[in-house]
Chains A and B, each alone.
Chain A
């Protein structure tokens, strides 16, 4: 699944570890989500969306428009 997490994180000048702290996950988890190796659960996707004040669809894209 494609996502804009890395871009959104960079806009706020956060490291992966800092984002992990805000989401209560590890730096490895943030890296895995950013690189598409781990698709977040729905609860984590909602946490991410709330943190960036965006909808889930604005951050994650499954390739089907």
Chain B
């Protein structure tokens, strides 16, 4: 059993100059990397642009790798953290992974939104309109290659209470999907409503899943 004194070691340790300097460095790299991704997306979108898409995609991939590295560094340093409550290693790992996934999602959303906004439609991200490959390809790569790894590690770290909350949200979302999708499809075939929108259903399902999960874990 881990001794409390061991767990609390370093909790109230003030941030040293080295830690602050590293945090500022990581933050600057993160901002520059995000800026590079956005800039690359906008460059490709410019009317009459003759940008070499594979080269831009490579640069965007490097920028995303730098952003992830600096995010990892910030997560390790935790410059924002004050005195913490005692936490088991697994709980701490699960919380950190959840935060990492949230930050990654926010960065992805911002990059995709900014890439889409330049198409002169403020809601272009949620439309079925075209998007620049230089923005979409790295986003898909992160979504399909990095997020599943984070999820897998998170599932291996959570406790049974979190598992139960996750299942609760998942079941609620499954029922929403199972009821809404065929009803909308049938109503569309009868000419009562517009054609089913995949992303509308996806956002509703994910929204209910998240709401159910967080309500169950924190009630």
> How many A residues touch B, CB cutoff 8 Å?
21
Contact of A24 with B86 in the complex, beta carbons under 8 Å: no
Q: Is B198 part of the binding interface, using a Cβ–Cβ cutoff of 8 Å? A: no
Which residues of B64-108 have CB atoms within 8 Å of chain A's CB atoms?
85-91, 94
Chain A interface mostly: helix
A17 touching B85 in the complex, CB below 8 Å, given contacts A24-B90, A25-B91, A37-B219: yes
Whether A21 pairs with B88 at a CB distance below 8 angstroms is: yes
What's the tally of chain B residues with a CB closer than 8 Å to chain A?
20
Nearest Cβ distance between residue B178 and chain A, in whole angstroms?
26
With a cutoff of 8 Å between Cβ atoms, the chain B residues found around residue A22 in the complex are 1-2
Within 8 A of B (CB), among A35-52: 37-38, 40-41, 44, 51
> B85 contacts A29, CB within 8 Å?
no
Residue-wise, chain B 154-169 has the 8 Å CB interface mask toward A (1 for contact) of: 0000011110100000
Contact A15–B90 (Cβ < 8 Å):
no
A-B contact pairs, 27 of them (CB 8 A): A15-B86, A17-B86, A17-B87, A20-B86, A20-B87, A21-B2, A21-B4, A24-B88, A24-B91, A25-B91, A26-B88, A26-B91, A26-B94, A26-B159, A26-B161, A26-B162, A28-B161, A28-B217, A28-B218, A29-B160, A29-B162, A38-B160, A38-B161, A38-B164, A41-B160, A44-B160, A51-B1
Q: Give the interface of B toward A (CB within 8 A).
A: 1-2, 4, 7, 85-91, 94, 159-162, 164, 217-219
